[in-house]
Amino acid sequence: MRQPILLQCFLIGYLWFGHTAAGAEETPQQWKVSELRFQVETLSDNPVDTPFSATFTNEAGHSITVPGFYDGDQTYCIRFTPSVSGQWNYTTTSTTDELNNQSGKLTVSPATDQLRGGIELDPNNDRQFRFQNGDRYFPIAFECDWLFALDAENADDIPKTRKFVDTLAKNGFNQVVLNVFAYDVKWAKDDRLDAKYEYGSPKVYPFAGDNESPDHSKQNIEYFQRLDRVIEYLDQKGIAAHLMVYVWNKRVNWPEANSAADNRYFDYVVRRYQAYPNLIWDISKEALGYGHNDVNYIHGRIERLRDLDAYKRLITVHDYSYCRRFADKIDFVSVQLWQSELYHVMRDVCKNIPGKPILNIEHGGYEKGPYVVFNGNYTSPEVCLERAYQCVFAGTFPTHYWQGAAWNVIVPDITELAPEDRPRLDYYHHLQTLVEKYDLGNLIAGDKHSNAGFSLHNGTGQILYYVPKENDFLGLRLPSEVRGQTMSLTWFNPFDGTFSETTQQKIDQWPAVKVPGEDGFRILILDHPDPNQ
């Protein structure tokens, strides 16, 4: 597991350098989390409240002030993720003398190939994301709210987390939507549910005490240390952690909104996790639902987060009504839209909220599993896939749910299930193949290039068509300038990831193609001469 690099530690004033398990000294790297740890002799009554930060300045004069956090055992920690290589100097600031005015130098090596930096908005395409190194980031998300719980009671290791995250990574998912904490669902549970897959009512809790008898004035440091392992492993596997700070309908005993305890919890989460380059912030799942708060509370949480997050990670709110009304306050849009004809619904979102990437965080598809958890509107894995592709062809991004990893139920190792009960996660590996092969994030959505289905195009002669399963033929709308010339046609099967042999067809006045006689929708890749050349 890619652990943060332990750089330096002050043990009551004594300085030493951290080492790997093999004894080799580690070097800070660009876009990799490093930790500076400081141990003190005395603590305040609530050490989490002690102000502590460090200002890092590099040779070019770039400066960043990073907040620190209490990590138990009389130790404070600052996580630093350098944006560039070279020498950085730092100086700490605190109201506690032992933590104040400590200084040092770090020599940061350039990033290795697997380190691409944080996720940011693409300055060249306001509907897209990219990594800090400039590579495109095209989200294919998976919601697993209870991922935090898989190994939360295991002090030594995260075997179940690794097993499940490895499965997601293998199948093309590059973002996981998860809660910092959730307790249990309010609806009835399947009587057939095997207890080993049940993670509702966990014994762990992010506050002192437990969910039934909490002490909201204190954070449970050990809980967060174990959550660290989940975020770190997602980062190692190249998966974004879309972290929902709150959830209101999963029976969590939260402190009163805007209370000192609420602010302490929120600030602690932001201080502790902001350095992770794979981090994406989400204020709350279904943020304005269930009567917990109003828009002013969400406004305040966003402002508080932006003030405290030195790395300026992306922020969204899992609530379409909020995103629609206050798009200026978020970095990208999260929507829950379940309508049957999804493509045009998502195109309407694009028209209503210009200039922002859009993630359909719940499209109503909850792929069936071995147990009924929550059915949504659609449970067929093939229909769920159709809806994911309709999001993609609308110029937006999809999120997948599987009932074997939704809310309180998680099956970490899908190979334990009978083949008929396993999810078709391989479908999303094929989607990733298409995304990367044709750079779908750089294509244009919304234009009509056929008399049915939907299309993405590059403006110079390449068009990808989503061809519905009902189609036997597809009429094409191509520029009149290319009539009489030849087009190339390749079919992609989204269910097995295969491409057909490429064929040639002359472009006449009313071009049309015959759809392969197979079940399910298909993707047609068409190349014609650029009419502008």
The tens digit of pLDDT for each residue in 257-303 reads 999 999 999 999 999 999 999 999 999 999 998 888 999 999 999 99
Residue 124's contacts (CB-CB under 8 Å, 6 or more residues apart) are none
53 class by beta-carbon count within 10 Å (0-12 exposed, 13-18 middle, 19+ buried):
middle
Quick one: pLDDT at residue 113?
Answer: 87
How large is the angle between the packed helices 381-393 and 342-352, nearest 10 degrees?
30
Quick one: pLDDT at residue 187?
Answer: 93
Count of C-beta atoms within a 10 Å radius of residue 283:
25
Superfamily of domain 34-108: Immunoglobulins (2.60.40.10)
The token pair at 481 is 């300038």
- Tell me the one-letter amino acid at 381: P
For the chain, how big is the Rg over CA atoms in Å? Answer: 25
DSSP 416-466: GS-GGGS--THHHHHHHHHHHHHTGGGSEES---BSSSEEEE-SSSEEEEE
What gap in Å lies between CA 200 and CA 523, rounded to an integer?
Answer: 40
Quick one: pLDDT at residue 7?
Answer: 57
Quick one: pLDDT at residue 6?
Answer: 56
* Residue 29 near residue 110 (C-beta atoms within 8 A): yes
What gap in Å lies between CA 140 and CA 429, rounded to an integer?
Answer: 10
Quick one: pLDDT at residue 17?
Answer: 30
pLDDT digits (tens, 9 = 90+) for 334-357: 999 999 999 999 999 999 999 999
Quick one: pLDDT at residue 14?
Answer: 28
> Listing from the earlier edge strand, what are the strands of the sheet with 52-58?
63-67, 52-58, 86-94, 103-108
Quick one: pLDDT at residue 184?
Answer: 97
* Residue 431 near residue 496 (C-beta atoms within 8 A): no
* Residue 239 near residue 279 (C-beta atoms within 8 A): no
What gap in Å lies between CA 484 and CA 462, rounded to an integer?
Answer: 17
CATH of segment(s) 126-440: 3.20.20.80
The token pair at 372 is 């009924």
What gap in Å lies between CA 364 and CA 3, rounded to an integer?
Answer: 36
Distances (CA, A) of 171 to 234, 245, 425: 14, 26, 6
pTM, 2 dp: 0.95
Task: Report the phi/psi class of residue 343: left, alpha or beta, with left for phi > 0 and alpha for psi in -120 to 50.
Answer: alpha
Quick one: pLDDT at residue 3?
Answer: 63
What gap in Å lies between CA 529 and CA 533, rounded to an integer?
Answer: 8
Q: Which long-range contacts (CB under 8 A, 24 or more apart) does 188-193 make?
A: 189/408, 190/371, 190/372, 190/373, 192/370, 192/371, 193/371, 193/409
Q: Minimal CA–CA distance to 378: which of 432, 337, 343?
A: 337
Q: Minimal CA–CA distance to 384: which of 338, 422, 453?
A: 338
List of the chain residues with pLDDT < 50: 1, 8-25
What are the φ/ψ torsions at residue 84 (nearest 5 degrees)?
A: -140, 160
Return the HEC string of 385-414: HHHHHHHHHCCCEEEEEECCCCCCECCCCH
Q: Which long-range contacts (CB under 8 A, 24 or more apart) does 327-332 make?
A: 327/353, 327/356, 329/299, 329/302, 330/302, 330/356, 331/121, 331/356, 332/121, 332/129, 332/356, 332/357, 332/358, 332/359
* Residue 388 near residue 342 (C-beta atoms within 8 A): no
The token pair at 110 is 């350039």
* Residue 71 near residue 16 (C-beta atoms within 8 A): no
- Tell me the one-letter amino acid at 281: W
Distances (CA, A) of 227 to 151, 173, 232: 9, 20, 9
What gap in Å lies between CA 197 and CA 177, rounded to an integer?
Answer: 19
Quick one: pLDDT at residue 338?
Answer: 95
What gap in Å lies between CA 263 and CA 13, rounded to an integer?
Answer: 31
Distances (CA, A) of 239 to 116, 175, 176, 400: 12, 5, 7, 14
What gap in Å lies between CA 456 and CA 393, rounded to an integer?
Answer: 6
